[in-house]
Amino acid sequence: MVVLGLMQLAANGADLLTNIPARKVTSLNGKWQYIIDIYETGFYDYRYKERAENDPEAYWNTDVPAHSLDRKEHGYNDTYTLNVPGDWNSQADKFLYYEGTVWYKKSFDYQKSSKSNKLYLHFGAVSYRADVYINGKKLGMHKGSFSPFNFEITDSLLKEKDNFLVVKVDNRRYANEIPTLNTDWWNYGGIIRDVSLVELPNTFISNYFVQLAKPNVATNLIRGWIDVKNAALDDEVTIEIPELKITKKLRLNSEGRAIINFNAPKLIKWSLTNPKLYQVNITTASDKISEKIGFRNIEVQGEKILLNGESVFLRGISVHAEIPEEGRRAHTQKDAEKLLGWARELGCNMVRLAHYPHDEKMTRLADSLGLLVWSEIPVYWTIDFKSEEVLSKAKTQLDEMIDRDKNRASIIIWSVGNETPVSEVRTRFMKSLLDEARKMDPTRLVSAALEVNYHSEENMRWIDDPLGEYVDIVSFNQYLGWYGGTPESCRTANWGTHYKKPLFISETGAEAVGGYHAKTNQLWSEEFQEWFYKEQVAMLKRMPSNFVGISPWLLADFRSPRRNNPVYQQGWNNKGLYDQQGRKKKAFYVLKAYYDELSKTK
């Protein structure tokens, strides 16, 4: 059943649980034992056939010999441990470039508070493929480095003592996966986000969508749905917003869904200056869940983006989920506070979380800070656009991204990809993703960062990618003065699009090594990057009236195996405004001055 276009999703056969922080949770974070298995000996036998479930040499089975003649050729112990959550690349030198299989093992005790309750094992994200086993039995498999997933642990599998949990993690790149073989970021492997046991009553609130209808600026109409698992027809569910003195009792239909549709006339809308969040309580006879939710309208009207009916200019920055000083994946609350704090110090009102869904801590913090968010799936560069299998994988990652964050007021744009080369088959592929995003969530805008496929007419550069017909805002990446010409090339350049839509620059930038100072025309110096941004800003001030914002590339330097200049890169993309030590470069102040000026006029 589809209500307002947003569907309940399934993650590898199990309903994806949302709002994990509000559940009864037992963390499995901490030290996990591991085995590096470059030949996948624990998964395949010597004939390279997948091992039987009860094979004693399978690494998902116990490593403890039953007797003195029981030969075990694998073992887990505390000599070899990795921190979870965390990528393995930054935890030991031997892992820096490692791509392959690592087996993770964690033992735990657990007794449910009620025999009738259900228990789920939830992962915030595992990069890239995760095969999950408990006590020798496979729970399931998930692909996708940046999406949450969970599996139910049934009573027949759970023990009160010494549960033997094993996760086979494989971060290898493949041509038929999302992302594909070729990217411009580090292929961090591991269990990179939180792992939790989630205990729920037998009949529980499994999912919900609560947002302002679009477009509906005048009436404050809240719509959505609530799903209750294992419920009976006509069971009652209550939604309450105490601060607004709203209480609505709803009935579940035969699919276990209740439809939300009511006015909130006294609602204060979430905005950049007042990121108002309301506590929303959802209650059934056996379950209750609460979440802080903001309500706002986002829409395109002509060539403008309107937030709550008023034109907004996006003073953005692109962000990778990395902490440069430590060369690792970001995953903690402090990491989120650092990255978004840097963006706010720059003067941003928007962040583009590239090129994949970031940790949920980022989007929740953006809600409370009043930062707008562009959230993206890693459909990047040259994936196999002809493959229906690849399209299906892209849709799954899109669905998982939307399902996790659909109640975040900060997210205003779902992006379906970055710099995909123009062709008829690619445009059909990308349009299918745009259609899927709109079906999943009609309350937000959809876009993609287009590759610069423009033609010039007397210094007028037209953005004419055919995908522009289908997006809500025409977003494009341009590096005039870095990958083409010099920064002074910006002086005669003007940009436009034939599409009567908002125009957004989703990337621009130039590399500079933090602390390297030279003449202005010396590549890799902070002075060159400063010059680049000065010329860009002057060009931006001549943009047409439908220009609605920019998210330069990017907030901070990040690792990339593509960047191999032995003097100036050494495995780093240095386009950040913060360097590898977290220090501001000179270009930071150029962009900040522009944003400070814009904040007074737009």
Once rounded to an integer, what is the mean pLDDT over residues 174-180?
Answer: 97
Task: Give residue 197's Cα distance to chain centre.
Answer: 22
Say if CB 171 and CB 127 are below 8 A apart: yes
**pLDDT of 373 strictly over 80:** yes
Instruction: Find, among 382, 327, 376, the residue nearest to 351 by Cα.
Output: 376
User: Nearest 5°: CA angle at 199, between 284 and 253?
Assistant: 30
pLDDT score, position 459:
73
Domain 204-299 indexed as CATH 2.60.40.1170: no
CATH class of the domain whose range is 300-601 = alpha beta
Give strand pairing partners of 291.
280
**pLDDT of 166 strictly over 70:** yes
pLDDT score, position 15:
82
Once rounded to an integer, what is the mean pLDDT over residues 136-159?
Answer: 97
Percent of the chain with pLDDT over 90: 93
pLDDT score, position 456:
65
pLDDT score, position 124:
98
Name the helix (H) or strand (E) containing 372. strand 372-376
Once rounded to an integer, what is the mean pLDDT over residues 31-48?
Answer: 97
**pLDDT of 196 strictly over 50:** yes
**pLDDT of 436 strictly over 80:** yes
pLDDT score, position 11:
34
Q: Which 3 state secondary structure label does DSSP give 165? A: strand
Q: 463 is written with which tokens?
A: 């953005």
Residue 201, preceding bond cis, omega within 30 degrees?
no
pLDDT score, position 229:
96
Residue with the bigger pLDDT between 219 and 38: it is 38
Q: 140 is written with which tokens?
A: 């399931």
Instruction: For domain 10-200, give the fold.
Output: Jelly Rolls (2.60.120)
pLDDT score, position 136:
97
| Distance, CA of 269 to CA of 246 (rounded, Å) | 16
Beta-sheet pairing, 129-134 with 163-170: antiparallel
pLDDT category at 3 given cuts 50, 70, 90 is very low
Alpha carbon dihedral 516, 520, 521, 526, in 10-degree steps, equals: 30
CB atoms < 10 A from the CB of 435, how many? 14
pLDDT score, position 217:
54
CA 93 to each of CA 89, 127, 515, 570, 586: distance values in angstroms, whole numbers, following the listed order: 7, 19, 26, 16, 32
Percent of the chain with pLDDT over 70: 96
pLDDT digits (tens, 9 = 90+) for 444-476: 999 999 987 555 666 788 898 999 999 999 999
| Fold matches, 10-200 and 300-601 | no
pLDDT score, position 458:
67
| Distance, CA of 189 to CA of 211 (rounded, Å) | 35
Q: 517 is written with which tokens?
A: 């100072």
pLDDT score, position 216:
57
By CB neighbour count within 10 A (0-12 exposed, 13-18 middle, 19+ buried), where does 360 fall? buried
What value does the mean pLDDT of the chain take? 94
Give strand pairing partners of 225.
209, 259
State the pTM of this model: 0.95
Once rounded to an integer, what is the mean pLDDT over residues 117-122?
Answer: 98
Once rounded to an integer, what is the mean pLDDT over residues 341-352?
Answer: 98
**pLDDT of 320 strictly over 90:** yes
Where do the structural domains in the chain lie, given as residue ranges?
A: 10-200, 204-299, 300-601
pLDDT score, position 147:
95
**pLDDT of 186 strictly over 60:** yes
| Distance, CA of 189 to CA of 275 (rounded, Å) | 35
Least confident of 15-19, 112-116, 254-258, 536-540: 15-19
Beta-sheet pairing, 474-477 with 503-507: parallel
pLDDT score, position 602:
75
pLDDT score, position 226:
97
pLDDT score, position 13:
37
pLDDT score, position 12:
35
By CB neighbour count within 10 A (0-12 exposed, 13-18 middle, 19+ buried), where does 70 fall? exposed
pLDDT score, position 215:
67
pLDDT category at 8 given cuts 50, 70, 90 is very low
The residue behind tokens 């459909």 is: 379
pLDDT score, position 472:
98
| Distance, CA of 282 to CA of 287 (rounded, Å) | 8
pLDDT score, position 97:
97
CA dihedral sign, ordered 478, 480, 482, 485:
positive
pLDDT score, position 452:
75
pLDDT category at 267 given cuts 50, 70, 90 is very high
Residues 6 or more apart in contact with residue 548 via CB below 8 angstroms: 303, 304, 305, 312, 313, 314, 473, 502, 503, 504
pLDDT digits (tens, 9 = 90+) for 85-115: 999 999 999 999 999 999 999 999 999 999 9
CB atoms < 10 A from the CB of 97, how many? 11
